[in-house]
Chain A
Amino acid sequence: MNEIFENIKSIIIDIADIPEDEIELDSEMLDDLCLSSIEIMSIIGDIEVKYDVKFASDDLLKIRSIRDLISIIEEKKN
């Protein structure tokens, strides 16, 4: 989980230019990190390529925080 978290963190920093210390495992992507829909689209796109997974439309409804995102990635990889 740590490795995935670090990768997601670097993707978020690269796309949304958010300071590293503000990104935590339980950071909510909309309410804490304030990621716009364009940023979310790019972040999810990068994650899909990096981990060779595909997020369905209803998967995104289950993702509130980075922890939720990591859970879904691990679920899809397994």
Chain B
Amino acid sequence: MKIFRNINFPITTSIGMFDLLKGIAMLLIVFGHNRSIFPTMKLDIITRYTNEGAFRYIPYVYEASIFGRLCFAVIGAVVVSLMPALLILSGYTVRKRSVSKCFSLEYKELLKPYLWATIATVVFNFIFHFCFFRYIPGALQESAKVLGGMVLGFSQNVQLGKITLFANGPIWFVLALFWALVIFNILLNMMDEEKIKYYALGLSFIGWLLSYVKYTPFCLSQGLIGVLYVYMGYYTRKSGILTSEHSDKLIVKYTLFVIIPNIILTFFGMLTEMADNVYSLGPVTYIENGLLGIGVLYVFLRINKTNNGKITNALRYLGRYSFYFMCIHTVEMIAFPWYLVAGKFVKYQLLGFVSVYIVRIILIFLMLKVLIRIIELYNRIKIRKTIG
């Protein structure tokens, strides 16, 4: 229990307490999306009985040792729980408002930026497509597919007859969060607080069933499952779970019913992957992953307090502006044909993966700085007009 004692202590909240986790999550999201453009890179076939793995020269790592697989299962479980953790964070600061006020606020904070990101993605997609292929009808057609997919809010590519609509990319999260917060607020207004958990569970179940319907628009499926995560966040604030010290009995229960099951699930490849509507064991996976998300948040908040180096603060900076980061990442991921760049590294997949990842992070960071500066200038003009 000593390992838990080092992190089991009460803390006070602060407005920057989640920034480190969000910053790391942003880098991992780009990492995962970058991985998908190098499909033949054998980075993750390192624990199977194969000598094709990228780490085949490192002893013990690829030889399917139980210890190696277990380590990766632990890391995998933590990584998988980050997406639910981000939704739980949003639920942490939920405040009961009238239904119309909540809708109008979330429209302003989430939907409007989603629409702006859509416009930017479509415009840049057209520009880059034309720059690379020099064919306007082709560029228009591809951009129309992007527009259709983003406006209709499909988190995966969808085939409607002869028409393909492209996935809306990382910004699915914003749309799902919009539904989760609006619907949860409706529950807060209409239901007894005691019964909200049952409704949240029921709605998440409907969301899971909808995940089997390919044409579910507007990320409704993820939004409904998100209602449960928002409830978890709301409950953690009300009960003080994240800020309190916990008894040994609770830690044992949490280890037995949450940590170990999550490791087992990940060990056998069962996970929650909301963007692609993957819930390997249905409600079991997304509930377990969500509960582990709370534990990850708990640990992170304590690590946060003790780290203040330059890298940590840089990660906090990314986390602070994670919303803009997500929007910019959506634009660069969909609009720019990274697969063409990845194609240049056919023989050197790992080198290509690392190089492209670094370039993307730098680009996103620079665009983030520009966007923050533009917003700052807009605010200055707004304030001067108010004073004038």
Closest beta carbon of chain B to A8's beta carbon, Å: 13
| Cross-chain contact of B93 among A17, A36, A62, A63 (Cβ < 8 A) | A36
* Cα of A34 to Cα of B93 in the assembled complex, Å: 4
Residues of A within 8 A of B304 (CB): 61
What bracket does the count of chain A residues touching chain B fall in? 20 to 34
Cross-chain contact A64 with B12 (CB below 8 angstroms): yes
Given that A28-B13, A37-B322 are contacting pairs, would A45 and B92 also be in contact in the complex, using a CB cutoff of 8 Å? no
Interface centre among A29, A35, A48, A57 (most CB of B within 10 A): A57
Cross-chain contact A57 with B313 (CB below 8 angstroms): yes
Closest beta carbon of chain B to A4's beta carbon, Å: 15
Cross-chain contact A30 with B13 (CB below 8 angstroms): yes
The answer to whether the Cβ of B40 comes within 8 Å of any Cβ in the partner chain is no
Interface centre among B13, B15, B109, B380 (most CB of A within 10 A): B15
The answer to whether the Cβ of A74 comes within 8 Å of any Cβ in the partner chain is no
Cross-chain contact A17 with B16 (CB below 8 angstroms): no
**How many contacting A-B pairs (Cβ < 8 A)?**
86
- B: number of interface residues (CB 8 Å): 38
Residues of B within 8 A of A29 (CB): 15
The answer to whether the Cβ of B129 comes within 8 Å of any Cβ in the partner chain is no
* Cα of A18 to Cα of B93 in the assembled complex, Å: 13
**For residue A36, which residue of chain B has the nearest CB?**
B93
**For residue B174, which residue of chain A has the nearest CB?**
A38
Cross-chain contact B15 with A17 (CB below 8 angstroms): no
The 8 A CB mask of A13-56 against B (1 = contact, 0 = none) is: 00011100000000011110111111111001110111000001
Closest beta carbon of chain B to A51's beta carbon, Å: 11
Cross-chain contact A41 with B323 (CB below 8 angstroms): yes
Interface centre among A16, A48, A60 (most CB of B within 10 A): A60
Q: Which of B1-45 contact A (CB under 8 A)?
A: 12-19, 22
Q: Which 3 A-B pairs have the closest CB atoms?
A: A60-B16, A57-B316, A34-B95
> A residues touching B (Cβ–Cβ < 8 Å)?
16-18, 28-31, 33-41, 44-46, 48-50, 56-64
Name 6 interchain pairs, CB-CB below 8 A, sorted by A: A18-B95, A31-B237, A34-B95, A37-B90, A49-B376, A49-B380
